[in-house]
Amino acid sequence: MDEALAEATRARTRAYFLKNGTQASADTVRARTASAFEALERVLDDLTPAVAARRSISGEWTVHEIIDHLVETDRPTLDELWCLLAGRRPPGEPIPAGLQSMAPFTRPWPWLKRELGRLHADLLQAVAAAPANFDTTARAPIVMVVNVEGGPGRTVPYSWIEELDWKSYVIVQRLHVIDHMNQARKVLAAVTTA
């Protein structure tokens, strides 16, 4: 990728996090994140295990695999958020971008949905427990992935490590859920037309 485009992408992303994370109130961050979590739950509400496991687009995850990925990333995310809320940098490396369990399809669909709901509730509870004016210099490194133009009518992922404060870190979880909710909708649309 062209360095000027890379720097512009990083600058635009940082400006978004400053406005919607760092400078936003904790209540706003929590409400916007809760809204994204609820929207994903509505998409998943009536899905049967068979539909969730159906591969409708070659090279794309199934909805089952998408939710497995969210469960696997949300577990360490919650640990990292607790570190930030304790005023400490999370130990270790950033959570890998494509994390999945060893065998996604061995996990029952109803369990995956319940586990995702539990993890999201715990994350929102952690945010709600933070004092309204809580501030810390602690930052968490994340693997930031943004789709950028890769040629006419084509997008490609661009990634880098970004250091985020606790509210921006929560906003990333909101964006992560929205991204995968849109992916699930695309997969489900292909299931119904197949």
Number of independent structural domains in the chain? 1
Full domain range(s) for residue 130: 3-193
pLDDT in tens, 82-117: 999 999 999 999 999 999 999 999 999 999 999 999
DSSP state of 19: I
CATH code of the domain in which 188 resides = 1.20.120.450
- Taking the C-alpha atoms of residue 118 and residue 166, their distance in angstroms, rounded to an integer, is 20
Q: pLDDT under 50 in the chain at which residues?
A: none
User: In Å, how far are 64, 65, 159, 168, 188 from 101, measured between CA atoms?
Assistant: 11, 9, 22, 26, 22
The pLDDT score that the predictor gives to residue 123 is 98
Q: Do residues 191 and 51 make contact, with C-beta atoms less than 8 angstroms apart?
A: yes
pLDDT of residue 81: 98
Q: How far is CA 163 from CA 20, 50, 87, 131, 146, in A?
A: 15, 39, 14, 22, 15
Tokens 């090279």 appear where?
A: 59
Query: CA angle, corner 181, sides to 177 and 186, nearest 5?
Result: 150
Taking the C-alpha atoms of residue 129 and residue 143, their distance in angstroms, rounded to an integer, is 26
